[in-house]
Amino acid sequence: MFVRILKQSFHRQRRRKSLAALAVIAGMAVASAMLTLRVNLGDDLSAELRHIGANIVISPAADSLPITLDGVDLRPAGSGALLDERDLPAVKTIFWRNNIIALAPILDTQVVLNGRRVEVEGAYLEALRRLNPAWSVAGAWPAGDSDGVLAGRHLGAPIGSRISLAGRPAVVTGIVATGGAEDGEIIAPLSLVQTIAGVPGKYREALVSAVTKPEDAFARRSHASMTMAEMDRWMCSPYAVTIAQQLQEALPGSVATVVRPVADSEGVILSQLRLLLWFITLLALAASGLAISGAMTASVLERRGEIALMKAVGAQDSAIGALFFSEAALLGLGGGAVGYLLGEWLATAIAYHVLGHSIAWKPALAPLMLVLAALVALAGSLHPLRQAIRVEPAVALRGEA
C-alpha cells in the first residue's frame, strides 16, 4: 500500500515533482562542479599561477663580497660565487621533484656591443621560457645548443643579424620585450655564456618554479617546537620552504630561498578562490533546498484532503512523515545522480576554458553528491512535513481552511 501511494503521488503530481527534481539537479550540478574544481584547484591553478615567475632562488651559500670595476663582476670562479652545473641532476632525486615546473640556472657577464657594455644572461632557454611565458618575443627562441640569442628591444639588433659576443659569433633569432632589464640585455644559451665568461660548467644562481601549497600557521612554526611526527608532516607537505630546503640539501654549497612576494600572492589567491568555491557550493545547496521546500509545501496544500483521509482511517504521523520523506529522498537521489553527471561535465568545460585543458572526472564524488542531495531534499521537506502533521482530519474533510 505504501509503495502504491508513493507511485500515485509521483504520477498525479508529475509537473510539480519534475520542477522539484530540476531544482535538485541544478543545485547538485553546480555543487558537483565546484567541488570537482576545488579538488583540482591546488595543482592546476597553482601551475597556472606559476606564470608569475620563480618562487624559489638558489644561490651560492659562501658567496664572496662583490668586486666590480666599471660595472664588471670580477669575482673569480673559485671564490664561492658560482655553483657547479654538474650537481643539478641531483634535483631529480628530491621527494618533491615532480612539483618543479622549471629550473633555470643563470650566469651573467658583460660584453662590449656596438661601443657600449651590454649584459649577457645565459640560461637553459627552454626552462627560462617556461618561467616567463608572459615575455613578448618577436621571432623565435634560440635552441639551447645553438649560437642563437635573443636581443632586447632597446639594443636595435634586427632579427637575423649577426653579432659578436667577446669574439664569439652569435645570431639574433628573436627580439625580447619584457618592460624590464631584459629589454637592454642579450639572452643566450648557458653554454655560450659560460664560454664567454671562461667558467665552463658554472652558474651564478638558479631560478625555480615549483607548484606549492600555500603556507599556513603550521608551515611557519619553528622546527625546534615540532615533534618527530610534526616534522614528518612538515616535510611531507609541498610548502615552498619545504621544497627549498630539499633543493638546498641536494645541491652542495647552495642556499635556496623563497621569493616571498610570489609565494605569498599565490597563497592569497588560492585561499580566496577556494573560499569562493565553497561559498558558491553552499549557495547552490541552499537554493536547491528552498526549491524543494516550496514544491513540497505546495504538494501538502494540494493533498490536504488525502492526508486528512489517511489520518481518519488510522494513519499515524510517522507513516505520513515516512511518505513525504520517501518522496523527498527519491527526488534527491534521482536529482543528485543526474546533477553529478552534469556537474562533472560543467567542471570539465570550465577547466578547459579557464586552464586550457580538461580535468578528469571524480567518481569518488558520486556517493557524496547522492548523500548531499538526499540530505538537502530531506532538510527542505521538514517544514512541509510539519504542515502535513498539523492537518486536522475533521476540518480538512469538511473543506474548511
Please tell me which residue, 239 or 161, carries the higher pLDDT value.
Answer: 161
Cα 157 off chain centre by? 40
How high is the pLDDT of residue 77?
41
Per-residue cell: 199: 667558467
Instruction: Residue count of the chain, please give it.
Output: 401
Overall pTM > 0.85: no
pLDDT at 307 over 90: no
Residue of 228 and 361 predicted with greater confidence: 228
Q: How would residue 297 be classed by pLDDT, with cut points 50, 70 and 90?
A: confident
Instruction: Report the pLDDT value the prediction gives residue 163, as an integer from 0 to 100.
Output: 92
In angstroms, the CA 293 to CA 33 distance is 23
Residue 257 reports pLDDT greater than 60: yes
Q: Within the chain, how many helices (H) and strands (E) appear? A: 13, 14
Percent of the chain, pLDDT > 90?
Answer: 28
Residues 363-371 have a mean pLDDT of 83
Does the pLDDT value for residue 390 go beyond 70? no
Mean pLDDT computed over 302-320: 68
Rounded-to-integer distance, Cα 135 and Cα 358, Å: 25
User: Which residue's C-alpha cell is 541552499?
Assistant: 286
Instruction: Check pLDDT > 80 for residue 173.
Output: yes
* Mean pLDDT, range 217-233, rounded to an integer: 82
Mean pLDDT, residues 103-129: 92
The larger pLDDT score, comparing residue 313 to residue 2, is at 313
Taking residue 347's Cβ as centre, other Cβ atoms within 10 Å add up to 26
Mean pLDDT value across the chain:
80
**Backbone φ, ψ for residue 227 (5° rounding):** -80, 175
Going along 231-327, which residue ranges are E strands? 254-258
pLDDT at residue 76, as a whole number:
47
Q: Looking at residue 346, what is its pLDDT?
A: 86
User: Hey, CA dihedral for 274, 277, 278, 279, is it positive or negative?
Assistant: positive
* 28 close to 106: Cβ distance less than 8 angstroms: no
- In the predicted model, is pLDDT for residue 167 greater than 60? yes
The mean pLDDT value for 64-71 works out to 50
pLDDT of residue 270: 67
Q: Nine-digit cell at 61?
A: 651559500
